[in-house]
Amino acid sequence: MESANQTYVSEFLLLGFSAKLEIQLILFGLFLSIYLVTFTGNLLIILAVSADSQLHTPMYFFLSNLSFADICFTSTTIPKMLVNIKMQSKSILYEGCLTQIFFFIVFGCLDNLLLTVMAYDRFVAICHPLNYTVIMNPRLCGQLILGSWCLSVMGSMLEILPVLKLSFCTHIEIPHFFCDLPEVLKLTCSDTLINNIVVYLVTGFLAFIPFTGILFSYSQIASSIWRISSAGGKYKAFSTCGSHLSVVSLFYGTGLGVYLSSAATPTSRTSLMASVMYTVITPMLNPFIYSLRNRDVKGVLGRLLGRAAASQ
């Protein structure tokens, strides 16, 4: 049995979606298009917030950081998958796999924490409008962003460092298009009890607690909106958080779908497709949700694109 183990592996194999060449070519075009749309859409949000003083508010400051996190989140997985399809290869170096896991967790947690911060911002804006500028001052906004980054990096390090001590078996195939930590842990020949405990604790702290914070914020927001007497006032108050609520629903809906599908059918392609929704589709849709549902962002983007077209 000892001969079946090895203390070090040089690479893993990402099985991806299909071994058929024609399907791989279709997937290459599809995911390249999705990545370009995601990158461009989120970059436009960042440029719009940076270029127009009208958007220099806490809400749009957090939005630009969310767009940056989404760009980085998709960049940890899609480019490597595209390279593997182009090179007709399934390999990823051991170091590259661990690096991918680290940044995937960092930006996934950062997305989660930024959505929580944005929910708090909407809570203050709707429930305490007279004190909004005092509470959501630039110093607090900077501290919230810095705290989100620090928690994300610390959480990722807590999950990735115990993996460095594991030994892996000769079976190194990962049934995914990226290095997903739970899938990598299944390949080890070592005891993963500590790893699993750490994963559950970090996930609980950086996912469940922020989600609870979002629910609390929106329960208070709903209560405040309900007390507004006029229908116009209710609509205006709700419209200020409609985009964020849509993104939260999409983010947690697809994320929950991943874990439910994994629990129900752990070896099924359903889990793989659910992961695509969570890691690829959601970051692509976020800029569309904010630009289509937000008049200010839509106006600034229109002016930016108009200037770009006029300069050509």
CATH of domain 2-311: 1.20.1070.10
Domain edges within the chain: 2-311
pLDDT tens for 1-15 read 344 444 567 888 888
Grade residue 222 by pLDDT with cuts at 50, 70 and 90: confident
Highest mean pLDDT among 197-211, 226-240, 284-298: 197-211
SS3 content of the chain, % helix, strand, coil (to 5): 80, 5, 15
> What's the pLDDT at 71?
95
Which tops the pLDDT comparison, 110 or 27? 110
- Look up the pTM and report it: 0.87
Mean pLDDT, all residues of the chain: 84
**What distance, in Å, lies between the first and last C-alpha atoms of the chain?**
67
CA triple 112-73-168, angle to 5 deg: 100
> What's the pLDDT at 1?
38
Rounded alpha-carbon distances, angstroms, from residue 267 to 97, 155, 274: 21, 27, 13
Range 226-254 average pLDDT: 76
Distance of CA 178 to the CA centre of its chain: 14
Grade residue 290 by pLDDT with cuts at 50, 70 and 90: confident
pLDDT above 60 for 265: no
pLDDT tens for 173-209 read 888 889 988 888 888 888 888 888 998 888 888 888 9
